[in-house]
Amino acid sequence: MTKEVHSNFQKKYGQIMDFLLISVETHMLSVLAQYWNSYFRCFELSHLDLVPTIEEYEMILRLPLKEEADDYLYEGNYLSRGKIAGLIGLSSGRSYDISTEKGDWEHFNKTLALLIYRLILFPFTMGLIDLAAMDVFFAYETQKRNPIPAILGDSPLFPEVCHQKKRGMLRCCNHFLYVWIMTHLYASNHMGYMLDPLRSFHRILVKKLEATEWKRDLSTFEVDHFTWVCPWYHPRNTIFSCGSFLNVPLIGSRGCVAYTPTIALRQLK
């Protein structure tokens, strides 16, 4: 991929490709799910209440919401696989060989973005591109519907399931949650040096621990070492409510959840 093609990919899809360079510590996320408070819809660590926000997720992906564009909305039916096949240039019933030698970067980029949506953003079904992932991707590709609210809307669903079952592993939005929580917990020594959430993430020296060790670390984490405002976050207008509602309903790819950003005021100052 040439620099020009890479630049065009990033302009269109944000920095989703950078997630491929980040290795997620799955033990950490499985332990984090144990701190999920179903009533308040937030993570409750020792003396800390925190929740991912739309504004933080926008900056992680570098894909800001725009007033003139709509967000993703599940309309009751997923699209057919044929529509996706046509979008990426795959004829029905044929195998697809992405030929970059012929300069077909347009279809290559669309296919790569779709795969990242499946692997990183909405990894529901192992080994398959889930219909939900295809639906969100198609809405963005054809209607410019921003996927950030859907990603944030899906983020609480899996800690909720893990919390209720007292077991299990987060499967949705792992990379988003991982970058978000690790930055808040361990980036206090990098203020001013982590201007890019993904490309500066390597500055955080992540320890490889077992689940019991992550449990110990999170249960004894000192609030004085917590980074309330991520180094890469820049204060801006914040969404706190929706009309007369005191919270914000978020529609993900598989359900709807009430999002209460007032819990996260200290993260957004």
Mean pLDDT of all residues in 193-215: 89
In the block, tokens 């992405």 appear at 98
Question: What pLDDT is stored for residue 234 in this prediction?
Answer: 80
Range of lowest pLDDT (21-25, 99-103, 140-144, 210-214): 99-103
DSSP H helices, the chain, are: 3-13, 26-32, 54-61, 81-87, 105-116, 131-143, 148-154, 157-165, 174-186, 211-219
Tokens for 22, please give them: 């980040």
Q: What is the pLDDT of residues 41-97, one digit of tens each?
A: 889 887 888 889 999 999 999 998 887 678 888 777 777 777 877 787 765 444 455
Tokens for 28, please give them: 């950490």
Q: How confident is the model at residue 168 (pLDDT cuts 50, 70, 90)?
A: low
Task: Rank 16-25, 67-76, 203-212, 246-255 by mean pLDDT and report only the highest.
Answer: 16-25
Q: What is the value of pTM for the model shown?
A: 0.87
Q: Report yes or no: 50 and 261 within 8 Å, Cβ to Cβ.
A: no
Whether the per-residue pLDDT at 18 is higher than 60: the answer is yes
**Rounded distance, CA 89 to CA 104, Å?**
10
Q: Residues near 177 by Cβ (< 8 Å), separated by ≥ 6?
A: 29, 32, 52, 155, 170
Q: What is the pLDDT of residues 245-260, one digit of tens each?
A: 778 888 888 777 777 7
- Which SS3 state, helix, strand or coil, does residue 218 take? helix
How high is the mean pLDDT of the chain?
82
**Rounded distance, CA 35 to CA 37, Å?**
6
